[in-house]
Amino acid sequence: MNKVDPRTTVINERLRRTSRIIAVSSGKGGVGKSLVATTLALTLTQRGCKVGLFDLDFTSPCTHLIMGVKDAQPKENKGIIPPVVKGIAIMSLIQFSGDQVAPLRGADVSNALIELLAVTQWGKLDFLILDMPPGIGDAVLDLVRLVKRIEFLIVTTPSLLAFETVKKQVRLLQDLKIPIIGVLENIKMSSATNIERETEKLGLKFLAGIPYDPGVEDAIGDVTKLLGTTIANRIKNVVATNITQ
Amino acid sequence: MHEWALAEAVITAAQQIAEREKLKEIREVNIKIGELQQVEQDIFYFALSQLKPSNFKNAKFHISTAKTSLKCRVCEQAWVFSKSKLAEDTAEAIHFVPEVAHSYIKCPKCGSPDFEIVEGRGVWLENIKGVR
């Protein structure tokens, strides 16, 4: 027999007690995935759900910055136990790479992702939110391959440049029969409804349009302020009507 | 005790192969561990012994260690990983996720972090032997 990488065999066992696994994703970078993922995790926690937040943007992680996490290290007990911050179990490569740069090629990203999925003991969760790296690369393909029950929540901006890539990602996920909760339009600068119409043409639910909120930058690192922003208010509605309903 | 999770993965993979190959009893499990991950072999053995199912009760676990060879993608310098040159917390971070080696280790010749882990990254199940 050829030698076998044993790690992939335990990934779904590690996630067995997680009810739903939602990947917050976009074909394009800079659309606000991390902000949406973190705010989604915080909102679900506010509603009394047990939530995990896994930052999979290994080369540019930032959910720890959005949450204002200073020094929260995982513990070892038959695997890695994520630290709990603001009621959320958090996991990020930053817990291992610190303030060093993490220059990883695709195969390294894949290996680190499989390693963390195989050894992280999330325990019982209602939701595991995955903050995805931009694009339709290794992380998306590995998660679709390895994680049963994964669902995607797609983030775009009103820009044609973002939405064209989102359409390709949606096509891939639909071809693979992966559930898509819907599309969130972030950083909306006008009342135009073209993204809403285009989303419906794809056969998907348009979840919300989130207007550009200049107050968001000031809320980075302060979850109380963040939960008072327009983005948080819109995500609360999305959670109530499309996720926990 | 991070080794426990890796041992569980080895047992699960070995059990899947045993089922596929219709092996009723497993006699031997051969595992290779790369030095980069710095797995504590005593803990790993203990975890294997505690986790093994009944059809593995007479199985011997053979663990071999692979040196970790690294090769720079920029200048092609090849070298061997050495834990002794690392700070304790750096070695521990690499133990948990070997890929963070790229955050702490650089090519000894040109200083680039863009190197390939040619061999000796983590845990591999080499083969199992048993009876049908």
Report whether A90 contacts A53 (CB < 8 A). yes
How many helices and strands in chain A, by DSSP H and E?
A: 11, 10
Number of residues written out for chain A: 245
Report whether B105 contacts B35 (CB < 8 A). no
CA atoms within 13 Å, Cβ hemisphere of A140: 21
CA dist A225 and A221 (Å) reads: 9
Which pLDDT does position B1 carry in this prediction?
Answer: 63
| Triad A112, A141, B8: Cα angle to 5° | 45
For range B40-49, the mean pLDDT? 94
Smallest Cβ distance to A97: which of B100, B122, B128?
A: B100
Which pLDDT does position A70 carry in this prediction?
Answer: 87
Point out which residues pair with A120 in neighbouring strands: A80
Report whether B35 contacts B66 (CB < 8 A). yes
Report whether A14 contacts A147 (CB < 8 A). no
- This prediction's pTM: 0.95
Mean pLDDT of chain B: 94
For chain A (length 245 residues), average pLDDT per consecutive 10? 90 96 94 97 97 96 95 92 97 94 94 96 97 92 94 96 94 96 96 95 96 93 96 96 90
A3 touches chain B (CB under 8 A): yes
A217 touches chain B (CB under 8 A): no
A218 touches chain B (CB under 8 A): no
Mutation for B interface: A110, A119, A138, A142, most B CBs within 10 A: A119
Chain B residues with CB under 8 Å of A79 CB are 1-2, 4-5
Summarize pLDDT for A25-48 with one digit per residue, the tens.
Answer: 998 999 999 999 999 999 999 999
What are the φ/ψ torsions at residue A47 (nearest 5 degrees)? -85, 5
Q: What's the distance, Cα to Cα, between the start and end of chain B in Å?
A: 34
Which pLDDT does position A215 carry in this prediction?
Answer: 87
Which pLDDT does position B85 carry in this prediction?
Answer: 82
Which band of pLDDT confidence, cut at 50, 70 and 90, is reported for residue B18?
very high
Which pLDDT does position B58 carry in this prediction?
Answer: 92
Q: A70 burial class (0-12, 13-18, 19+ CB within 10 angstroms)?
A: exposed
A203 touches chain B (CB under 8 A): no
